[in-house]
Amino acid sequence: MDSPHLYWCSVILIILLPLLWFQWKSKRAPALPLPPGPTAWHIVRNLFQLAKRPHESLCKFSQKYGPLMSFRLAMRRIVVASTPAMAKEILKTHDHIFVGRTVIEATKVFSHHKSSLVWGEHGPHWRYLRRITTVELFSPQRLEAQEHLRRGEVFHTVRLIFESKGKAVNIEQMAFFNIMNVLGKMIFGTSLIDPFNPASVGLKDTIGKTVKLLGTANLSDFYPLFRLVDPQSVCRQMAKHMKRLHDFIDLFIQDRIATKNIKRQQNDSHKDFLDVLLDMRTEDFTLFDVRALIFELLIAGTDSTTTTIEWVMTELIRHPEKMKRVQQELDGVVGLVRKVEAYDINRFSYLNAVVKETFRLHPTVPLLLPLKAGKDCEIEGYMIPKDAHVLVNLWAIGRDPATWKEPLEFMPERFLEGENSEIDYRRHNFELIPFGAGRRLCVGHPFAMRMLHLVLASFIHSFEWTFPHGMSREQMDMRDEFGLVLKKASKLIAIPKPRLPHHIY
């Protein structure tokens, strides 16, 4: 056999032998049956059955195989929960078993996963990161003290929209700039983005591409041998975008270290989050950890919230009667002689119902980030094997006809009356868990909800919103684009018309 043939035969054997061994091992009968699921195809198994829209494909599978199902993606066992009851089993009843995280290859770039709050393995370091973030950034006391930051940035964004003088506005882009600047002031003590600066648009693009890569179906996550070659260039692209964001964050870190202000050190009330992190440095909490934590706060805090704002505004513009009802509620509380304030938010019951309904129909993270079974676990008479990759399909839960009447319709009223009126994510009703639940509950959810309601109330109270000229409701593109975050496939462009006296803007 000549050399090229020998080479390729060796490559094929190297690929096939581990897969065949894993297939033989997986066929050994467990003590309890695995959850039902589709028949796996040879070697590639169910990988191509999910296509490009796994949230929809898994929902269809669950209608045939049940609320808890399992299948193979290459060499990985996948278990999917698709109803509130099964989500509760995983995220509450057995959350001590499913507290681990399946780490994807994209997060291993620059060893990020080792310092990650989102992707890090459950343990002392992860608990320390979570405690820092909960106490020093997102505690009720901190959020109350920083209310003026959110208020100032939201009012500034409203002013920019007003100054557009009726020109079409990219809702998602305006919301992103707003939230990014709020986070910038909380973390660094300064705004980060100028909507009219091309460099700012570049920063937004980098964050968007990073989130997209994190949600990419990467062959290297399912076939270990592919990790050597990175066939889809996911890790190579991730390294490029991550370095840009690291360099951006490092500018603030190095400047703060070089110009440490003694007066700020002595007065805790004037410290921003970066000051706090730098003061907490130890051998176990280094500058590498500081940068990684800030990186995740900027990524997670912007893309998910701005996507939800865009979906809410899309649904309200499509349903003008519901937009009118929101505006009537806002006018009844705020009037037309001032802007919306944070203390108004708790009185907006219909707006709150609109946000809930949007979370149900357009869950920000359609498949909650993958959990990992720490040991074998029995649920409903089925065995969830150790190291199984566990997903909760929020998209399917939001369309479960056993839970929701007319599940495909946008009906905020369902949360104001009837059996769904008591459902609230804060009560851990597993019919609606946009931020997850249990020990992996999103640490930033108090900030996200405050920003969501303040931005939405301000946009809706301040302006009438209409389609661009010549577009009808029927022509509006409602397709979504699957990824880590379920984005709107085409950006919402709308025309604002001031509702308030001009001096208020």
Residues 444-498: tens digit of each pLDDT: 999 999 999 999 999 999 999 998 776 777 778 899 999 899 999 999 999 999 9
Six token digits for residue 301:
């805090």
Average of per-residue pLDDT values in the chain: 89
Parallel/antiparallel/unpaired status of strands 76-81 and 389-392:
parallel
Reported as half-sphere exposure (CB side, CA atoms, 13 A), residue 430 has a value of 18
Q: 3-class DSSP state for residue 120?
A: coil
Q: What is the dihedral of CA 255, 260, 264, 266, to 10 degrees?
A: 150
List per-block mean pLDDT (blocks of 10 residues) for the chain, which spans 505 residues.
48 53 52 85 60 88 95 87 97 95 94 94 94 94 93 95 91 94 94 79 90 90 87 96 96 89 55 92 93 95 94 96 98 96 95 97 95 95 95 96 94 89 82 94 94 97 88 82 92 95 94
Measured CA to CA, the distance from residue 39 to residue 72 in angstroms comes to 9
Measured CA to CA, the distance from residue 421 to residue 412 in angstroms comes to 10
What's the pLDDT tens digit per position in 363-387? 999 999 999 999 999 999 999 999 9
Reported as half-sphere exposure (CB side, CA atoms, 13 A), residue 357 has a value of 25
In the chain, what are the domains? Answer: 31-504 (1.10.630.10)
Give yes or no for a contact between 497 and 466, defined as CB atoms under 8 angstroms apart.
yes
Count of beta carbons in the 10 Å neighbourhood of residue 228: 8
Give yes or no for a contact between 100 and 371, defined as CB atoms under 8 angstroms apart.
yes
- Answer whether 0.85 is exceeded by the pTM: yes
Q: Distances in Å between the alpha carbon of 115 and those of 130, 164, 249, 287?
A: 11, 42, 15, 10
